[in-house]
Structure 1
Amino acid sequence: MGMIANYQYLPDDKLKQIKLLSNEEDDLLDLAEDYAEEYEIFLDIDKMWDALVFVLTGFSSSEFLDDNPLREAVLGVTPLEDVSEYIAYTEKNKISKIVEALESFDMDRAMTDFSMEACKKADLYPDIWDYLEEEEEIKDDILACFVKMKDFYKEILNHKGNVLVTIC
């Protein structure tokens, strides 16, 4: 088991509930699970979230980048404080900027420049960067996560929704 990133559609009324419960972790995780069952707009990129942030921005998820829509696509805009699991949300007024950034990102070039050694030096999660024989598979996984994320955010934009991000 590891830290898996999930993204889900969040209507306005559910976002209000999340904000009200922002420091009640058990209730938040229960709500997130309930919402995932209630709404079918959902994305799971498994453990590739840190690598995806790195490929998109050149920085790991632990490094703060102010107002970067590519980073926000993966990690959300507003992380909740005082919870042990990572939970963040992105309000609908930020979604079009994220879609635009994802659409204009040159993922083919980023994959050409991809380096397992750079991922290892950046100490990215998960710790798979010594498995050089699996580099093509890892690159394919990162690319697939990117494509799914782009499609997910387009669907969120079409539904005029917010996004809930959980990494646990």
Structure 2
Amino acid sequence: MGMRAAYTLVDELTLDRLVSLAPEVLVSTLEDLESGGSPTVYLDKMWDGLHFLLTGVSAASPRDDDPLSESVVGVHVFGGEDFVGCTENDELQTIIEALDSLDRDEVIGAADFTAFAKAGIYPNIWDDDPEILRRELTDAWDAVASVHRRAADEGHHLVISIF
């Protein structure tokens, strides 16, 4: 199985508990939350492609104070080997507005997949059928926008894990 991104909605108490955990138990605790029914949206393989589409760089080099970058990787990063980040509820609206300010179809339609390949964007699929790639990026964009809106509407925080 390849790497995937998970976006899990959590309340204040849960976020406080996650922040206090040692890195070696954080991932298993997140997996327990997901399997225990915490609302979670998965991006599967398109997280790095979406980040590159929105920012021009890989998610491995997220941009500080860039709400488009933060839409994929979160605002705050937990320590540890596995990537775990979070966006607190009061930070969600800025990200939602940044995504809404773009014309999704125009941005995706203009995507140059040879640039994705040259940049080594995960996964190595950028020579596949461009229409399929555009459809998958559209689905990823919609999923990210939707989960941010849902977290904001429900008063939750968002925990992002990529591994």
Check whether TM > 0.5: yes
| Counterpart secondary structure, 2:155 | coil
Aligned equivalents of 1:46, 1:127: Cα separation in 2: 14
Match of 1:89 among 86, 95, 120: 86
1:39 Cα deviation from its structure 2 partner:
4.2
1:148 equivalenced with 2:143 (yes/no): yes
1:17 maps to 17
Correspondence 1:95-110 to 2 at 5 A: 95-110=92-107
Structure 1 segments of 4+ aligned residues over 3 angstroms from their partners: 37-40
The 1:42–1:100 alpha-carbon spacing in structure 2 relative to 1, beyond 3 Å, is: same
1:121 maps to 118
1:31 equivalenced with 2:29 (yes/no): yes
Aligned equivalents of 1:62, 1:7: Cα separation in 2: 17
Provide, for residues 11-60 of structure 1, a one-character-per-residue CA deviation record: whole Å limited to 9, x for no partner: 10011011111x332x2112212222344421101010000001111222
1:164 maps to 159
TM-score, normalising length: structure 2: 0.94
Matched pairs, number: 163
TM-score, normalising length: structure 1: 0.91
8 Å CA contact retained: 2:109, 2:134: no
Provide, for residues 122-163 of structure 1, a one-character-per-residue CA deviation record: whole Å limited to 9, x for no partner: 1100011233xx211011001011112111111100111111
The 1:34–1:64 alpha-carbon spacing in structure 2 relative to 1, beyond 3 Å, is: closer
Aligned equivalents of 1:24, 1:58: Cα separation in 2: 29
2:67 maps to 69
Tell me the amino acid that sits aligned with residue 55 of structure 2.
T
Tell me the amino acid that sits aligned with residue 154 of structure 1.
R
Aligned equivalents of 2:32, 2:122: Cα separation in 1: 27
8 Å CA contact retained: 1:87, 1:164: yes
Aligned equivalents of 1:63, 1:38: Cα separation in 2: 31
8 Å CA contact retained: 1:73, 1:98: yes
Provide, for residues 74-103 of structure 1, a one-character-per-residue CA deviation record: whole Å limited to 9, x for no partner: 00111112x221111111111111111112
Tell me the amino acid that sits aligned with residue 45 of structure 2.
K
Aligned equivalents of 1:64, 1:47: Cα separation in 2: 17
The 1:102–1:79 alpha-carbon spacing in structure 2 relative to 1, beyond 3 Å, is: same
1:116 Cα deviation from its structure 2 partner:
1.2
